[in-house]
Structure 1
Amino acid sequence: MLRLLNIEFHKLKHNRASRVLTIIYFALLTSIALIAAIKFDIGVIKFHLADQGIFNFPYIWHFNTYMASIFKFFLLLVIVSMMANEYSNKTLKQNLIDGLSKKEFILSKFYTVIVFAAISTFFVFVVSMILGLIYSDFNELSIIFSDLGYLLAFFIKLTAFFSFGLFMGILVKRSAFAVGGILVWFFVENIFKGFLYWKFNSDKLVSNNTVNSDSLSSIGVNDIMQFFPLESMANLIKQPFTKLNAIQTAGKQLGQNFAFDVSVHWYQIVIATVWIFIFIYASYAILKKRDL
């Protein structure tokens, strides 16, 4: 494993674009701390975002992992360009000539994906811990270390997303097309989701007037969509904003109920993990059959 990782990081070290994107990514993760500096002081209106409870334990684990996951596209570019460079620079063929098997080649990429996801998770943990110890109103150990499941979900989400990028990079060989392919898949999933909502609502209207109706009303759109790759990743860490006291109070005043289920569930972890194995195995299967 260390030998394979050493090969990959040697390649990344000599790739300027990858170095720049990686630095930008971790700089953006650090920039989450800048949210604490957001203040508005206009006459009688005084607003300090850090005072709204976003850095309270254990809420901070949910908030920071959600915000950090937005920046994952920068590392995705590193992953897909890493794979595209293997073809353009002929290093893939040279590695195989030098004795590296196709299985070891895929494993080297997968280990790199895991390391990137693990470092990102640790980075978010450190930043969140520092911000929480500074701004949180709750500092009991039992509260600090509760809801750490969001960090596990963050790690799985990054690993799955980068594995998807690795698969697309191997499939189409060009980084721009690989990113484009992921965007196309994103739109396909959302179009299909919109179709299901339309179908669900239309069938539900029919079922109100018909005793025997073959509809989706007994299943639900989200029950179907949770098995799609990008949707399964998105389900791991859902929006945290409705958990804020200010939002809950405003919702009650407007007669709205914001009691959404935004917890991390074990079956969501399982679904995303299955997709990781599917992407890695599919990558190996493509490389195994491809004439290099």
Structure 2
Amino acid sequence: MLRLLQIESIKLWNNRASKFLIVAYFVLLLSIALIAAVRFDIGPVKFHLAEQGIFNFPYIWHFNTYVAAFFKLFLAIVIVSMTANEYSNKTIKQNLIDGLSKWEFIYSKFLTVLSFAAISTVFVFTVSLILGLFYSDFNEMSIIFSDLQYLLAFFIKLVSFFSFCLFLGILVKRSAFALGFLFLWQILEGLFYMVIRWQSDGATAASISQFFPLDAMSNLIKEPWTRLSAVKTVAGQIGEDISRDYAVHWYSIAIALAWTALFIYWSYALLKRRDL
């Protein structure tokens, strides 16, 4: 396992574009802390975003994992590129000649996926903990370490998404086309949802679309904005009820993990069938 990870890390770190994207990704994750500096002073109206409760425990786990997930595209580009480069640089053929089996090749990529997801999760946990200790109104241990299921959901979301990118890299063999296919798939899922909703209703469309791969990943962490007390107060004043289910459900995790297993299996099946 360590040998396979070492091989992949050498490939990534010797690629300037990959190195830049990885560093940029973690810098952007760190930039979540800059949200605390957002402040508007317009006459008598004074607005400080950090004072709205976004960094309160345990809400911060929900908010930061949701925001951090938007930056995953940076590592998605790295994963797609590292897979496509194996074909363009013919390193995949050389690895197989040197004794690496096709399963070990896929396994090494999946270990990279797991490493990216695990390091990202630990990084978000650390940043969130520090921000919470500085800005949260609640510092009891039982409150600080509640709702950590959002970190688990974040980890699974990254693993599933990166596994999808790995599969696309193996399938298409060209990074630009693979990323284009990723965006096309997002559009197709949206179109399928609209067709189902047109033929039935919103509840039926939602229950079916939760099995779509990208929608399954999205359902792991629901939007956190409507949980803010300020938003609820405004909604209550205009007579709107925005109470929603924000929980991380076991079936959402199961669906995402099922897609992850399928993507890895399909990646191996494709590689096994190909004559390299």
Normalising by structure 2, report the TM-score.
0.99
Q: How many residues align?
A: 276
Amino acid at match of 2:232: Q
Deviations 1:108-148 (A, max 9, x none): 00000000000000000000000000000000010000000
1:247 and 1:194 mapped to 2: Cα distance? 28
Are 1:161 and 2:161 matched, yes or no? yes
Alignment of 1:1-292 (within 5 A): 1-201=1-201, 220-292=204-276
Shift of 1:43: 1.2
Which letter maps to 1:18?
A: S
1:207 corresponding residue in structure 2: none
CA distance in 1 between counterparts of 2:246 and 2:189 reads 21
Cα displacement (A) at 1:42: 1.7
Q: Which amino acid aligns with 1:265?
A: H
Amino acid at match of 1:171: L
Q: Percent identity?
A: 66
Paired with 1:238 and 1:291, the residues of 2 have a C-alpha distance of: 43
Q: Which has the larger radius of gyration?
A: 1
Instruction: State the partner residue of 1:211.
Output: none
Q: Which runs of 5+ in 1 are unaligned?
A: 202-216
Partner-residue secondary structure (3-state), 2:99: coil
What does the per-residue CA deviation read over 1:215-234, in whole Å, with 9 as the maximum and x for residues that have no partner?
A: xx8x7111111111000000
Q: Which amino acid aligns with 1:169?
A: G
User: After the TM superposition, which segments of 4 or more aligned residues of structure 1 sit over 3 Å from their partners?
Assistant: none
Following superposition, the deviation at residue 281 of structure 1 comes to 0.3
Distance 2:274 2:247 in 1: 42
For normalisation by structure 1, the TM-score amounts to 0.93
Gaps of 5+ in 2: none
Which residue identity does 2:266 align to in structure 1?
Answer: A
Distance 2:235 2:195 in 1: 29
